[in-house]
Structure 1
Amino acid sequence: MKTLISAIITASIIFLGCSSTDSPQTNLDLETIQDSTQIAYTITGLDGPEAVRYDAEQDVYFISNFTGGGNDQDSTGFITKADSEGNILELRFMKGTEENPLHAPRGMFIVNETLWAADVLGVHGFNKNTGEQTDFVDFTEFEIGFLNDVSADDDGVLYVTDTGVPRVYKVEEGSATVFLDSLEYAPNGITLNPENSDFILAPWGGAQTFHAFNADGEINEFATLEGGYFDGIEFIDSNLFSASQQDSSIRIFNEDTEKILIKTTGRPADIGINTKLNHIAVPYIALDRVDIWKLSE
């Protein structure tokens, strides 16, 4: 009976999190540019936090620590586990293995019980409950530029951006292949559009046009946003939130508006969404801190 109830609750969360509507959720405050009074919690004591991923099942945040950053193979990277109120539960919850250590982990995505994290040489898989490394997909057969962010489709197939080459890789059944190559822009953040199952790519550098691609590799322009040097992107319903490092802001885009929603206290990296409370977790690499902002009234 307990297993059945748990399955029903999990299914409800997935359904709510993936639903799409023509208008924003009624409890989202999208009308005003928010300031620091809207910060619900702050997580400190980190080491170059690059990305945040929320796990609704455990009600926790996972935070990838960039440490020295770059592509140095220094084995110093780790992933922190924190609760939804910003308390660190375990600073070095995920560390990799001696054979495949974490160097400078970046974007993350959860598929079932596995948290996948992009790193210098490939993509690590961790048991999200125990922190144990269970998988490693080696990318060294490719001319790696800068592996950056990870997302997945409904079947658990991973897509990984390479901002340095620039290209997008596909990871299926533990093997990586080049999916999109020689792009005209450097892809940074990647996320799944809940309305049509296309993936959206955020451009790094001076580019401002976001592109979408489908499972067949067809690419189209999605939207052009103000700002620049875009990092993490996430949806809540039909609202796309993007981290713009050019003007230190979180921008919102939907069919009715495109504007700054939050003026952040530093250069925002790969954001995460608390899907239960509509909180947005914003990591700042240079500040060793994550701010969790309220999007709901």
Structure 2
Amino acid sequence: MKYPLFSVIMVVILFGFLGCNSSNQQSTLKLDTVQDSTDIAYSITGLDGPEAVRYDSHQKVYFIANFTGGGNDQDSTGFITKADAKGNIVNLKFMTGTEEIPLHAPRGMYIVDKTLWVADVLGVHGFDRTTGEQTDFIDFTQFEIGFLNDISADSNNRLYVTDTGSSTVYKVENGRPSIFLDDLPSAPNGITLDPVSGNFILAPWGGDQVFYSFNASGELEEFATLEGGNFDGIEFIDTNLFSASQQDSSIRVYNPMQEMILIHTTGRPADIGINTDLKHIAVPYIALDKVEIWELK
């Protein structure tokens, strides 16, 4: 049977439209129901004080910063674990630094091109994310370091590092660190880039609940006030801001239309990581020596 060309074109367009809508619906997160442990896709155990997770979408692997003894001790025991997207450890001590400049208690991480940048006790380490070799070290000892904690970068590959102990944000440009913001109204822990405004968001540590944002000129303003407290890692998926609240052991989600607990975690969550391919959220627990990977709905 022959069909008019117009009818064939309309059928193709209709199926294409429905197919696109179906795909969009499948990829859209509802984020309207509190999730429970049945949504844990994988658990990574055998770690040593995991403080932060960063997902590498090119290699389909997680990097996990092991805090080991924690604090600011210069004990040369820190390391970065490499695990696959299903939670299998590929190399427990994939990155350790060098004998002269070892990792002590690695924290927040961020990927820029081929380099995984890692905040540590005395500065920021740079590692080749494919080989694990340490390629850079940015020394912060010229400053009165409190507690270097988390790290992010702008579109020009300038790094921004939070210092929770001194309520400071440092900027690293062309390999040189400088104080960018100091005397902040609350001690900053996590830092991430807002995909909508292009500003950075800071998560407050301690009892503060006001999240601040700042732009490239260093102008600071209030972003949002969230329930919870002792906030650690923060990350965006689309316009949704996910935050780890240690005060009530939860992962919270915020956007202009809602603010709620999304996950009651099994311990106190630290610096979370997002698997941008599968919409998984990796939650590290320093005290439990494990990372749980939750499937977001």
Q: Same fold (TM over 0.5)?
A: yes
- Tell me the secondary structure at the aligned position of residue 196 of structure 1: coil
The CA deviation at 1:25 is 8.3
CA offset digits 1:132-167 (Å, max 9, x no partner): 000000000000000000000011100000000010
Which AA in structure 1 matches 2:137?
A: F
| Alpha-carbon separation, structure 2, partners of 1:92 and 1:124 | 15
| Alpha-carbon separation, structure 2, partners of 1:28 and 1:274 | 14
| Alpha-carbon separation, structure 1, partners of 2:57 and 2:44 | 18
Residue 256 of structure 2 corresponds to residue 242 of structure 1: no
Which AA in structure 2 matches 1:194?
A: P
| Alpha-carbon separation, structure 2, partners of 1:68 and 1:26 | 40
Aligned to 2:215: 214
Aligned to 1:281: 282
Aligned to 1:13: none
TM-score scaled by structure 1?
0.91
Aligned to 1:15: none
| Alpha-carbon separation, structure 1, partners of 2:25 and 2:89 | 31
Aligned to 1:16: none
Counterpart mapping for 1:95-114 below 5 A: 95-114=96-115
Instruction: Please tell me whether the aligned partners of residues 167 and 187 of structure 1 are also in contact (alpha carbons under 8 angstroms).
Output: yes
CA offset digits 1:205-243 (Å, max 9, x no partner): 000000000000000000000000000000000000000
| Alpha-carbon separation, structure 2, partners of 1:210 and 1:26 | 28
Aligned to 1:121: 122
Sequence identity percentage: 74
Counterpart mapping for 1:249-260 below 5 A: 249-260=250-261
Aligned to 1:261: 262
Residue 146 of structure 2 corresponds to residue 145 of structure 1: yes
CA offset digits 1:68-117 (Å, max 9, x no partner): 00000000000000000000000000000111100000000000000000
| Alpha-carbon separation, structure 1, partners of 2:185 and 2:257 | 28
Instruction: Please tell me whether the aligned partners of residues 209 and 222 of structure 1 are also in contact (alpha carbons under 8 angstroms).
Output: yes
Instruction: Please tell me whether the aligned partners of residues 244 and 267 of structure 1 are also in contact (alpha carbons under 8 angstroms).
Output: yes
| Alpha-carbon separation, structure 2, partners of 1:24 and 1:282 | 26
- Bigger Rg over Cα: 2
| Alpha-carbon separation, structure 2, partners of 1:161 and 1:192 | 13
Counterpart mapping for 1:1-297 below 5 A: 26-296=27-297
Which AA in structure 2 matches 1:135?
A: D
The CA deviation at 1:24 is 10
| Alpha-carbon separation, structure 1, partners of 2:25 and 2:156 | 27
TM-score scaled by structure 2?
0.91
Q: List alignment gaps of at least 5 residues for structure 2.
A: 1-23
Over 6 Å off, 4+ runs? none
The CA deviation at 1:184 is 1.6
| Alpha-carbon separation, structure 1, partners of 2:250 and 2:28 | 21
Question: Measured at CA, do residues 154 and 39 of structure 1 come closer, stay the same or move farther in structure 2, by a change above 3 Å?
Answer: same
Which AA in structure 2 matches 1:59?
A: K
| Alpha-carbon separation, structure 2, partners of 1:94 and 1:251 | 31
- Tell me the secondary structure at the aligned position of residue 38 of structure 2: helix
Instruction: Please tell me whether the aligned partners of residues 234 and 242 of structure 1 are also in contact (alpha carbons under 8 angstroms).
Output: yes
Instruction: Please tell me whether the aligned partners of residues 24 and 237 of structure 1 are also in contact (alpha carbons under 8 angstroms).
Output: no
| Alpha-carbon separation, structure 2, partners of 1:154 and 1:26 | 26
The CA deviation at 1:44 is 0.2
Instruction: Please tell me whether the aligned partners of residues 24 and 238 of structure 1 are also in contact (alpha carbons under 8 angstroms).
Output: no
If asked which structure has higher relative contact order (CA below 8 Å, sep 6+), I would say 1
Instruction: Please tell me whether the aligned partners of residues 248 and 263 of structure 1 are also in contact (alpha carbons under 8 angstroms).
Output: yes
The CA deviation at 1:264 is 0.2
Instruction: Please tell me whether the aligned partners of residues 24 and 239 of structure 1 are also in contact (alpha carbons under 8 angstroms).
Output: no
| Alpha-carbon separation, structure 1, partners of 2:78 and 2:47 | 11
| Alpha-carbon separation, structure 1, partners of 2:27 and 2:114 | 31
| Alpha-carbon separation, structure 2, partners of 1:166 and 1:201 | 11
Q: List alignment gaps of at least 5 residues for structure 1.
A: 1-22
Which AA in structure 2 matches 1:73?
A: Q
CA RMSD for the aligned pairs?
A: 1.2
| Alpha-carbon separation, structure 2, partners of 1:24 and 1:67 | 42
- Tell me the secondary structure at the aligned position of residue 37 of structure 1: helix
